[in-house]
Structure 1
Amino acid sequence: MPRADKAQALLRGLPGVDALVGRAVAHPDLRSMPRQRVTESAREVLAAERRRVLEGASSVAEASTLAERVVDRLTRSGVFSLDRVINATGVVLHTNLGRALLSPLAQERLRAAAAGYTNLEMDIGQKERGSRYAHVDGLLQRLTGAPASLVVNNCASAVLLALESLARGKEVIVSRGELIEIGGEFRIPDIMRRSGALLREVGTTNRTHLKDYAQAIGPETGLILKVHTSNYRVVGFTAAVSSRELSQLGRERGIPVMEDLGSGCLVDLRRYGFPYEPTVPEVVASGVDIVSFSGDKLLGGPQAGIVVGGAELVERLARNPLNRALRIDKFTVAALEATLYAYEAGEALETIPTLRMLTEPPAAIRRRARGLLRRLSAEVQSRLGAMLVDVTSQVGGGALPTVELPTVALALGSAERRPEDLDDRLRAARPPVLGRLLDDRLLLDFRTVLPADVPALAAILASL
């Protein structure tokens, strides 16, 4: 029989789409899967089998095998695209994994906001419309010392709104060493152009002096902008102007001064062995007129761009029509209020996961890692080449870039189980497990493995 005729005969033996869907939906794992998605997967499986036959395969898969492929594809992808993962990378503020985890109280307040109506913009006592920002404004004032605040959907939005409100059509003076890229190829000069402000660079990459700012001030100056280089460091022969010096210059010359802190932190982490990182209250106290920072980095809350500063300037931002496009919803308000409450109550280090993970001592991390090892049989440990090793973690999220946190990881890899293969299989697990490959070992860093993740992780490792 000619090859083409044989291929056509084989293709006629393939089940139809409906028949294959009928077999697949009988599987218990697909009971909640929308039928349209099962149909699409069935078509893809059949198309792949047809290609295999046309490329010279001598037989076609049984209908049961094809149905298993449909089930496998769908169970690997899951019903929902956004799903839980086990973060064993050691990167606490992992941008690609969603950055800060929320505290139990923030989770509780989110659920309450999601389940019912709220007083988001209602002053119930006064029987009139209220402000969504009122729920966090008092907290931010008390925690930072600033007279006023505003919250938008992320820190880049906060910078854009401030530039557009205070310096559209005017020059903004920035040190060349602070023209940062914040990730995703978004750069301060790009944000400035979008705002309508005009960039006026001063100084050099490594050294900028107060006189550089002073000499650049002219009739067209609208703002002096200081950008905290939270995602990189320039070391060696360097010079920078302090927030206090810039604030004084701004007051003398009648020019508002803004500082973008990026990560933003409300507590001094030096007591836990971290290098100096300016806190928001510190910068506000230095006299800076406007300060912007993120909600989902060192603060440990939801994604948000927080602005604090003088009442008149903050009001100009609030009145800008752009603020409407950038405003936060009730879920951000709920989570942010709960996060800020933890700081005011003195509970931040104990209840906010980001701060707890950053300050957790290696001995406590080792105990959690040993707890997982005890769940694995000697045979599994031997097969995986499992052993505990001392390594370092990163903060992540564009924060504290030079900090290496001492931590404990479970190192995997053996002649029987190559690290690269283990990495692939762990990523395909439910939930996926993300570690990092280093020196021919797969490392599962327990700084970011949550206590609640340990049973699931142990079961996944035992199945490899």
Structure 2
Amino acid sequence: MPSTDTHQLLRHLPGVDHLLDKTREDDRFATMPRQVIIRAARTVLDQLRSQILDGLNPDFDDAAVLSEIARQCRQTLAPKLVPLINATGVVLHTNLGRALLTQQALKNIQTIGESYSNLELNLSTGKRGLRYTAVESLICELTGAEAAMAVNNNAGAVLLALNTLAEGTDVVVSRGELVEIGGSFRVPDVMAKSGCRLKEVGTTNRTHVKDYAGAITEDTGMLLKVHTSNYRIQGFTASVGLKDLVTLGKSHKITVMEDLGSGTLVDFSAFGLPMEPLVSHSVAAGADIVTFSGDKLLGGPQAGIIVGTKQAVEKIRANPLTRALRIDKLTLAALEATLQLYRDPAAATKEIPTLRMLTMSFEHTCQRAALLEKQVQKVCGAGDIVACADLESRPGGGSFPDLRLPTRCVTLIPKNMSVATLERRMRLSTPAVIARIENNRYIMDPRTIQPGQETLISSTLETILRTS
């Protein structure tokens, strides 16, 4: 039971109406929506009441309470999705939004977003058109496919293709290709939701053409190949190439589909990186349908791109699920602008941030690290240890699972706080700086730090280190 002192404190709590009257006289609240102020006032009073009931004696004079209400209002009104600095060295960091968009894509988003557009209008005929027209011819040009379309992400593309072309039938897949991607999202689960039946063949490490052939029955609707982009099976292994699978499919008149996952339009081996399957190679091999992501190695917005034969793609377009998974106009604008750059591979590598970061030379990271180290040294104290270290970056996003990109990083061991405390405070700063900790060092990788962000990092460090 609350004590007499507790009752006294509770009785002296200001009322909501009193606080609201005070906010009308306070310039801090002049532009704030009234409902936000009311909600914050009630929340603050509830917190004070709880503290009193817990035996505390909080400060609840008008000035203190109004300051807390103003703080909570600012927190409520602040955007929840905010830009940050990626100093982790992970290029396609799923938690940080994956691919950065090109300047051309951003400009096109603004152009289309601030005006009406011909999203589903055929300007030549004046009749309703298809929203895929904006990118279909471009995708076909770059991949060699007969037809193409885009939906909201690659999982949606896979679901839609399976549901359209294999619902109610068996889909034959190698056991070694039943992948799981981030968030416990598994290919077998997508297949089940699509309405087809999974039929596993081979073993985890070895699958042969005869395994697929032996699994084919009158109930077989598709042969599915899944690129294992986020892991590798090494050693005593065997897998069936797409061409062989296509040959088998054609001999039985069965649809063949390949999910490339990340998917790429650039031959990364030209830059000394491992070869990732090109979408154009899968199309040339004869797959009826190929699906891949827009916001991974392509370096565009989140999208699931579907390419293949005209007959197969037209069937997918006619599926009622297509509307539920369709791409919006702003994503289309960004995707079109990104794809246009691929007409000139040299321009694509230079202008698309993902490609630029992945192909950045070790020498370039050394130059960037020297610049960052110089700025960090200026704001650090005598006891703070700043150095450069040759470490490794990662592609991320389920791409190139074995690849380690040589990089030179800037490391910091602060004198007056733990490395974990520094990481937390940098992460909670504005803008947030996301880095990594290794061997009790705060590590900043210039591969994913965008030009000009070095100054922001150093000024944030200066504030944190001086207030430690």
Please give the range of the TM-score, normalised by the shorter of the 2 chains: over 0.9
1:394 is aligned to 394
1:2-401 correspondence runs (5 A) = 4-17=3-16, 22=22, 26=26, 33-58=32-57, 60=59, 62-73=61-72, 75=74, 79-346=78-345, 347-376=347-376, 378=378, 380-382=380-382, 384-401=384-401
SS at match of 2:43: helix
Letter in 1 for 2:134: H
- Distance in 2 of aligned mates of 1:25 and 1:98: 42
Alignment RMSD: 2.3
1:61-98 Cα shifts (integer Å, max 9, x gaps):
55434444444455566621111111122211111111
1:412-431 correspondence runs (5 A) = 412-431=412-431
Q: Contact 2:173–2:200 at 8 Å: present in 1 too?
A: yes
Cα distance, 1:270–1:418 mapped onto 2, change above 3 Å: same
Letter in 2 for 1:197: C
2:410 is aligned to 410
Give the C-alpha shift of residue 350 in structure 1. Answer: 0.6
- Distance in 1 of aligned mates of 2:213 and 2:241: 14
1:330-370 Cα shifts (integer Å, max 9, x gaps):
11111111010000133110111111111112332333333
1:147-174 Cα shifts (integer Å, max 9, x gaps):
1111111111111111111111111000
Give the C-alpha shift of residue 401 in structure 1. Answer: 1.2
Cα distance, 1:360–1:18 mapped onto 2, change above 3 Å: farther
Q: Contact 1:27–1:71 at 8 Å: present in 2 too?
A: no
Cα distance, 1:276–1:430 mapped onto 2, change above 3 Å: same
Give the C-alpha shift of residue 193 in structure 1. Answer: 1.1
- Distance in 2 of aligned mates of 1:40 and 1:365: 49
Deviates more, 1:331-340 or 1:123-132: 123-132
SS at match of 1:366: helix
Query: With structure 2 as the length reference, what TM-score do the two structures score?
Result: 0.92
1:178-211 Cα shifts (integer Å, max 9, x gaps):
1111222221111111111011100011110111
SS at match of 2:395: coil
- Distance in 2 of aligned mates of 1:385 and 1:65: 40
- Distance in 2 of aligned mates of 1:44 and 1:423: 30
Q: Contact 2:146–2:309 at 8 Å: present in 1 too?
A: yes
Cα distance, 1:4–1:410 mapped onto 2, change above 3 Å: farther
- Distance in 2 of aligned mates of 1:205 and 1:163: 23
SS at match of 1:390: strand
- Distance in 2 of aligned mates of 1:202 and 1:117: 51
1:359-386 Cα shifts (integer Å, max 9, x gaps):
1123323333333343346452546533
- Distance in 2 of aligned mates of 1:134 and 1:462: 51
Q: Contact 1:295–1:302 at 8 Å: present in 2 too?
A: yes
Once superposed, which parts of structure 1, at least 4 consecutive aligned residues long, lie more than 6 Å away? none
Name stretches of at least 5 consecutive residues in structure 1 with no aligned partner.
none
Letter in 1 for 2:245: L
Letter in 2 for 1:317: I
- Distance in 2 of aligned mates of 1:140 and 1:75: 45
- Distance in 1 of aligned mates of 2:109 and 2:37: 33
How many aligned positions are there?
462
Deviates more, 1:199-208 or 1:72-81: 72-81
Cα distance, 1:226–1:377 mapped onto 2, change above 3 Å: closer
Q: Contact 1:394–1:404 at 8 Å: present in 2 too?
A: yes
